[in-house]
Structure 1
Amino acid sequence: MNKPASAENPSRFPLRELVLCVALAAAVLGVYALMGAAYSTRMLVEAACYAILALGLTIQWGYAGQFNAGVMGFVALGGFCAMTFSVPVNEAFWASELPGELGLALLYVVGAIALVWGATRLDRLGVPKRLRTVIAILLALVLYLVVISILRGVTGEIQSRAGFIGGLGLPTGVGWVVGGALAGGVGYFIGHICLGLRSDYLAIATLGIAEIIKAFLKNSDWLTRGTATVSPLPWPTPGPGEVGFVMARAFYLAITVVMIAVIFFLLHRAYHAAWGRTIRAIRDNEVSSAAMGKDVNRRRLQIFVLGCILMGIGGAALTSFNSIFDPQGYLPLNHTFLVLVMVILGGPGNNLGTIIGAVLVYIIWIMSEPLALGLMQLLASLGEGSGWFSGADMQSRALQARVLVIGLLITLVLRFAPKGLLPEKIHHYR
């Protein structure tokens, strides 16, 4: 009988996990004692939202070895859906003839896409492939110029008369679900194009696509108000005006914790099922997996889409909590690199390690600014009158300390724990 013979006995007492959880709890209590309940609870809610993002990345990178450098784009898509579905209806738009005109313009877009797609299939009617390609390209250029002219006319009217189309006034949770679905749909489209690339080229492609998504949301004033932002966004829980800041944030934290628990349970079951073993086999040896009859492309696409869905849900929850949709506020540093650091610190492929890493890194990220500011103020008071330390512009310097601390942290982790605080447990069979 085949029995697992891992170097690390799976039934061992989880001492490392227990120590890390205790250390994390002590850090959280320290933040509560230093910063107060309202500030600390807000920090935990944001850390929980980032944990969902990190779980999405860890299954792509840790489970399947797919390096997604475009997390920001899927976070923005989730935030867009959270805004669109929860913001109240804009009567100035819906009470006019503009919805019909916009619908007709979008119908032209769909028709143009269908015509171009049909042109790419002309070779089945006997048209030479080179001629087919030329026809498809020329048709796409002509239809683009026609359709974009029609669409710009309608969207310009929307901006001048109604500001933007507004929202749908639905419960916030609907926007979160649709945000995950939209991110997954975009991930499906991207996966068909990019998953054949090597890991470094995949990272470049996803990074570029994330910037395209951000640019579209930023410049579509008729849809998102662009740089004017949309606020306030409603919460799925009673707001601070009803129950107070601490209690409202505690309710929101409870929802995010339940979401993490459900996601963790489902991912744990999937990881230890046949599906998870297949994904890891493809990651470790794609050629052998294909020789064993596994559909490599289908499985890789599945894991990429699943990770994008979690990123969309996490982005929607984070945007709703911040109560503002600002396309300019989505930054690679905050919404891609920081998530990457969380996964590296926790351990790619280890769900518990990813959650611990997410909360720990976010605490360090948030607390490095006030701690650095306090240190600078202390140095300024000690050096007052001596001229050896200038206290000018300490606030911006303290803010920059975040990047320094995170850079130092990732350097130390890669040097002393390259597989993370909780490495993936790989069971070997004999």
Structure 2
Amino acid sequence: MTQSHHTEPSPEPQQADSVASPRRFPLRETVLFLGLLGVVLWVYATMGAAYGTRMLVESACYAILALGLTIQWGYAGQFNAGVMGFVALGGFCAMFFSIPVNDAFWNSELPGELGKALLYMVGAFVLVVAATRLNRIGVPRPLRTTIAVILGVVLYLVVISNFREVAGQIESQAGFIGGMNLPVWFGWIIGGALAGGVGYFIGHVCLGLRSDYLAIATIGIAEIIKAFLKNADWLTRGTATVSPLPWPVPEPSEVGFTLARAIYLSVTAVIIAVIFFLLHRAYNAPWGRMIRAIRDNEVSAAAMGKDINKRRLEIFVLGCILMGIGGAVLASFNSLFDPVGYLPLNHTFLVLVMVILGGPGNNLGTIFGAVAVYIIWIMSGPLALSLMEWAANAGAGVFGWDVPTNLDSRALQARVFVIGLLISLVLRFAPKGMLPEKVRHHG
């Protein structure tokens, strides 16, 4: 009897360990999204259905950008401060592959001249690369480097001179080369692929740097991309912009603003749902656990035989692909490609605030942060204008002050103050975001 009394309780802890604890009700998520829904309904009630739907479509496009950043920063700890550049690449592809063909360009001798100029450029690149390999045939390394540098400078001057001449002919005779008149979704896919290809090149060069140096490098590359698109009038019309861009759904002229935007919103919702599903599966798969292990302790992950550089490059390229797709979808919705309109404040810092508010590494939190921050960004202008007008009228009535005439511009500047205040409050009271990352521990 005594023996059985001591041996009976022993299976109970084992049974308790083998039974998974019940999943808690997502109270925080429910409350936050219900509150966000209430804010969206308020916008619809005060600003109208067409305005509210437009705001939701743009916030959905930003959600795609934010998902691209959260897998780079939240999953792998890579701080990409050049989101703007990948957004611009996506917008360029959405424009180039969807707008009509420019017959004035293709019905002339200019395509052949442009093809020869591009061929000369590729040949010059091949020659410079070959010069860097001269040490393999016995040429001393210092001499090899000298030959490669001199050859690179000379060929650059020759090629760029010829290319500028061809570009000038295109601008004077045809304006620009025009588009490809392909389906809009094709431009979206190519936009993601091009952004991913550029990200692959950047990753090979920059992912070995520390996080702060990586941020500086990506900022510089984003500015280079913007400068190229802005000055390549033969390709993008530069500051003259390209408009209108076609939609993949019926346009407002066909079915009205509200319905057209609602259909476009359904397309972006499907894209987000697919991305969310794939990222959720990857995050909870062994690949996702390996990425987080590299982020949390790179030395231990390397000691376990993981290919650190390969995995970091994978996650960086994947994030860039999503940024390119988001930029393409946003450009098509705005029906305008304006290289000057890509700003670090709107297309890098704002996306960063969305990820910080929602929670780096939490896909659901990132979507919440994107919608919430974009609503605050958009609505802070009208609200600030109303407050300023009330204060100005009150001051004029009570004290006889003159009413300022530039309240609209001041209200737009208030948006920056509101976003700065928001990020300060979040970093102070919720440094891990409103919906922090949830990491399951496997025993």
* TM-score computed with the length of structure 2 as normaliser: 0.94
**CA-CA distance at 1:10 after TM superposition:** 7.8
Which residue does 1:405 correspond to in 2?
A: 418
Which residue does 1:158 correspond to in 2?
A: 170
Match of 1:118 among 130, 154, 159: 130
CA offset digits 1:5-35 (Å, max 9, x no partner): 9xxx782111111111101100100100110
Which residue does 1:422 correspond to in 2?
A: 435
Which residue does 1:128 correspond to in 2?
A: 140
Matches within 5 A, 1:91-240: 91-240=103-252
Which residue does 1:345 correspond to in 2?
A: 357
Rounded Cα–Cα distance in structure 2 between residues aligned with 1:140 and 1:106: 16
Higher RCO, Cα 8 Å, sep 6+: 1
Which residue does 2:10 correspond to in 1?
A: none
Unaligned runs of 5+ in 2: 1-13
Unaligned runs of 5+ in 1: none
One-letter amino acid of the structure 1 residue matched with residue 350 of structure 2: L
Paired residues of 2:89 and 2:191 also in contact (CA < 8 A): yes
The reply to whether residue 252 of structure 1 matches residue 261 of structure 2 is no
Paired residues of 2:243 and 2:336 also in contact (CA < 8 A): yes
Paired residues of 1:365 and 1:406 also in contact (CA < 8 A): yes
Rounded Cα–Cα distance in structure 2 between residues aligned with 1:284 and 1:250: 41
Summarize the Cα distance change of 1:214–1:263 in structure 2 as closer, same or farther, 3 Å threshold.
same
Rounded Cα–Cα distance in structure 1 between residues aligned with 2:167 and 2:311: 40
Rounded Cα–Cα distance in structure 1 between residues aligned with 2:135 and 2:367: 51
Rounded Cα–Cα distance in structure 2 between residues aligned with 1:389 and 1:330: 36
Q: Once superposed, what is the RMSD of the aligned Cα atoms?
A: 1.5
Paired residues of 2:192 and 2:321 also in contact (CA < 8 A): yes
Paired residues of 2:102 and 2:179 also in contact (CA < 8 A): yes
**CA-CA distance at 1:428 after TM superposition:** 2.5
Which residue does 2:405 correspond to in 1?
A: 392
Paired residues of 2:56 and 2:371 also in contact (CA < 8 A): yes
Paired residues of 2:393 and 2:403 also in contact (CA < 8 A): no
Matches within 5 A, 1:16-27: 16-27=28-39
* TM-score computed with the length of structure 1 as normaliser: 0.97
Rounded Cα–Cα distance in structure 1 between residues aligned with 2:67 and 2:401: 46
The count of corresponding residues between Structure 1 and Structure 2 is: 426
Rounded Cα–Cα distance in structure 1 between residues aligned with 2:284 and 2:321: 21
Paired residues of 1:376 and 1:391 also in contact (CA < 8 A): no
Rounded Cα–Cα distance in structure 1 between residues aligned with 2:178 and 2:237: 9
Which residue does 1:296 correspond to in 2?
A: 308
CA offset digits 1:257-285 (Å, max 9, x no partner): 00000000000000000110111010011
Greater Cα shift, 124-133 or 203-212: 124-133
